Amino acid sequence: MPSYKLTYFNGRGTAEIVRLVFAAAGTEYEDVRLEQDQWPELKPNTPMGQLPILEMDGTMLCQSNSIARYIAKLAGLAGKTPLDQARVDMVMDGMVDMGNKFAYEIYYEKDEDKKAEKKKDYVEKYVPQFFSSLNKLASDGGYFAGDELTLADIAFYNMTTMVNPYLEQPLSLDGFPKLQKVEDNVTSNPGIAKWLKERPETPY
């Protein structure tokens, strides 16, 4: 088996989805966390000047979702059929949209009044509508594709928990019973449960 080295900063951020997939897959990897002052030297030696990167067998991959999909595929967590894989991909992309909307409209907004208004809109309108769509896509058993845990379920859990600390209260899954099941399936996966207990506490 190749040796995997994941490099990111000391935070969850865009690397966490990869770490969660490694955990669910039970695949060993080196979890490298850079200090900010180590980054300038490495940056020109990365494919696109960004982190995370994954190194294995002399190859470097970048783009967190591409890395996550690659590892998930090898572990059978990316969807069993081409259509299931497409379902996984569309949910992953939807979660990225949800995260980006939060980042660009709220997190980076400097005007406090605008920020508060956008946050209210996000929590009261956008997320419930989006979760309603996602709830329809999930199975009764709490899986977005097939009847086993996939990268899509992990992506849902990862993004909602990523956004929650920045809100007054965690996003509610009330009225979305299948999404609650998705979350339960993710957190009760043995590899993920172990990682959630052991992972470093970080500000982001």
Partner 1 sequence: MAPKYRLIYFNLRARAEPTRLLFAAAGLQYEDVRIRRDTEWPALKPNTPMGQVPVLEVDGVTICQSNAIARYVAKETGLAGKTNLEQAQVDMLVDGMGDLRGKQAAIRKASEDKKDQCKEELAAFAPNFLRRYEELSGPHAGHLVGDSLTWADLEFYDVMAKVLMYLPGILDNLPKLAKVMDTVPANKGVADWLAKRPETPH
* Local structure of residue 123 (DSSP, 8 states): I
Contact yes or no for 164/170 (Cβ under 8 A): yes
Nearer to partner 1 (CB atom), residue 86 or residue 116: 86
- Our finding on whether 66 is near partner 1 (CB under 8 A) is yes
Q: Is 175 in the site for partner 1 (CB under 8 A)?
A: no
Name 33's Cβ contacts closer than 8 Å, sequence gap at least 6. Answer: 8, 9, 10, 11, 200
Which string of DSSP letters, residue by residue, matches 72-121?
HHHTT-S-SSHHHHHHHHHHHHHHHHHHHHHIIIIIT---HHHHHHHHHH
Q: Is 93 in the site for partner 1 (CB under 8 A)?
A: yes
Report the residue from 37, 108, 136, 169 that binds partner 1 according to the rule CB under 8 A. Answer: 136
Work out which of 69, 118, 119, 178 binds partner 1, going by CB under 8 A.
Answer: 69
Counting residues that bind partner 1 (by CB under 8 A) gives 29
Q: State yes or no: residue 3 binds partner 1 (CB under 8 A).
A: no
**CA within 13 Å, CB half, 126:** 17
Q: Which of 33, 73, 101, 115 binds partner 1 (CB under 8 A)?
A: 73
Compute the least distance from the CB of residue 121 to partner 1, in Å.
Answer: 16
As measured in angstroms, the least distance from the Cβ of 194 to partner 1 is 26
Of 65, 51, 50, residue with least CA distance to 154: 65
Name the site residues for partner 1 (rule: CB under 8 A): 47-49, 59, 61-63, 65-67, 69-70, 73-74, 82-83, 85-87, 89-90, 92-94, 129-130, 133, 136-137
